[in-house]
Amino acid sequence: MAVPSFLPNHPGKMIAVHVAFESRAAQRGRRPKYPSYFIKATSTLAESDGVVERPAGTELLAFEGEVALIIGKPARNVSLDKAWEHVGYVTAANDIGLYDYRAQDKGSNTRSKSRDGYTPIGPQLIDAQSIDPKSLRLRTWVNGDVVQEDGTSDEDLIFPLAQFVADLSQHMTLETGDIILTGTPAGSTVIVPGDVVEVEVDVPGGVTSGRLKTTVVEVEASFNPAVGMSPNVDDKQREDAFGDRESAGLPPVEDKQTISPELKAKLRKAPTAGLSAQLRNRGNVDCFIEGVFPQTTGTKLVGVARTLRFIPFRPDLFKSHGGGLNEQKAVFDSVREDEVIVIEARGTREAGTLGDILALRAQANKAAGVVTDGAVRDYEEVKRIGLPIFSQGPHPSVLGRKHVPWDSDITIACGGVAVQPGDIIVGDDDGVLVIPRDIAEEVVDAALRKEHEDEWVAARVAEGASLDGLFPPTGKNKEAYQEYLAANSDDNAPK
């Protein structure tokens, strides 16, 4: 396709930003620390009042209204405060993508976003040096309805527009005519044949790019599976293309860091000994975290695992990972209600893995408790705070004597047991048990049924009955227990 005639120079390259707007980051649930980019072919450029083609058999064609920066003079290793001087013009762009190809591109977006005509731009240029780059407004319409509206102020953008110029110029020379597409705000979604998309960049009450208009049409597909992949979509691509799961018609994703009140109530009734037996019956023989016990006798712990891992102490690693809001502090700072912080300390008792301040922070966040196969500092003060803590006992030394806080929210080994985020954690005076989430309901129901049976057996033993054929009930004893269940079907016995 021909380069739009209004562009002052033929662009040698076009670089697009993955995520730049706060609203888009909030919608996606992930906020980048630094800008990231992909290359978009200049052959995708198209003028206003044209069409964009959706191949037959594909479904996830999505628009992205964006601010386009056009380099006015070469930039190489320019500073942030000088970067905007290298921007010649600003205009509107539509960074169109075909999500049916996105998964296989793995972030490069080569096939999904570099099809011919997939970057309409214009229709007019705004002199970049005549405006404040933080004063721009970006709006997108689909079939006449506003679907995107955002600005370029510090509150709207994760990174200022000039930062893209400064950052990219560290790695390549930005040449006159090169184009930077600066990301899209929330509101990007799927469009279908017949839809009309319009994008405008302006300074409210001032200069404007005019409306960039593009109509979606369907064309015959030309994919050859003998030379490359065919279009393919899944729920992840649908969610990203539509903007969120609800818009894509998908059910909400289960939050594996929560636990229902009903399940929590049943687990609080079930002893770890009974739960352990039911896990063993299902092949889970390594389910008890060895060597840890409650600070306070009678403590019951029920919650969802949030994991934290320490590695052995090394001075250089502690220097890089031990200070500031390190991984340990970050976990205690962000733990949520009903979560149990489970710490892998390699069974080392010669240094604390938490103290009173961290315990207070976890309690303030309504955490369910902490399990560590290491030791606890400020032991008596932590006990006084009242947060359920299971550990190997006290030790006065600080973290850096034996440990480096390394990572979190991963699969760990605590007390010889594998623990994953989202696992169900149950603790009592016997110790702490790890239950895989997907079998927690059936395990606790079976444990409560067995507990009810054991209560009946205990009553018979107290009356003087022999254990023979009673523990567990067999023969006539089993019949007697079944009759008891039938006669007491309206009580609280588990069924």
CA distance 458 to 401: 49
CA distance 306 to 332: 10
CA distance 79 to 77: 7
CA distance 263 to 295: 25
Tell me whether the omega of the peptide bond preceding residue 123 falls within 30 degrees of 0, making it cis: yes
Q: For the chain, which ranges sit under pLDDT 50? A: 492-493, 495
CA distance 457 to 220: 74
Work out the end-to-end distance of the chain between its first and last CA atoms, rounded to an integer number of angstroms: 71
Beta carbons of 413 and 397 less than 8 angstroms apart: no
Which CATH class name applies to 261-441? alpha beta
DSSP string, 233-266: --HHHHHHHHSSTTTTTPPPPP-TT---HHHHHH
Check residue 429 and give its pLDDT: 96
Check residue 194 and give its pLDDT: 97
Within its chain, how far is the Cα of 478 from the centroid? 50
Check residue 481 and give its pLDDT: 82
Residue ranges of the annotated binding site for substrate are: 355-358, 377
Beta carbons of 169 and 87 less than 8 angstroms apart: no
- Is 179 in a helix, a strand, or coil? strand
Give the other-Cβ count within 10 Å of 461's Cβ: 13
Protein fold of 14-242: Fumarylacetoacetate hydrolase; domain 2 (3.90.850)
Amino acid at 238: R
Residue ranges per structural domain of the chain:
14-242, 261-441, 442-487
Beta carbons of 60 and 96 less than 8 angstroms apart: no
- Is 387 in a helix, a strand, or coil? coil
Single out the residue of 359, 367, 387, 395 nearest to residue 295, CA to CA.
387
Q: What are the CA-CA distances from residue 377 to residues 273, 297, 300, 360, 397 (Å)?
A: 29, 19, 21, 13, 7
The beta strand positions in 79-127, using DSSP E, are 87-94, 97-98, 119-120, 126-127
Residue ranges of the annotated binding site for Mg(2+) are: 378
Report pLDDT digits (tens) over 207-219.
999 999 999 999 9
Q: Is the pTM of this model over 0.85?
A: no
Domains 14-242 and 261-441 share a fold: no
Residue ranges of the annotated binding site are: 355-358, 377-378
Which residue shows structure tokens 């400020």? Answer: 378
Within its chain, how far is the Cα of 488 from the centroid? 48
The pair of three-digit structure tokens given for residue 209, joined into one six-digit string:
């790019």
CA angle 233, 421, 329 (to 5 degrees): 120
Single out the residue of 391, 394, 390, 419 nearest to residue 309, CA to CA.
419
The pair of three-digit structure tokens given for residue 76, joined into one six-digit string:
């190489």
The β-bridge relationship of strands 369-372 and 389-391 is parallel
Which residues, 6+ apart, have CB-to-CB distance to 378 below 8 Å?
352, 355, 356, 359
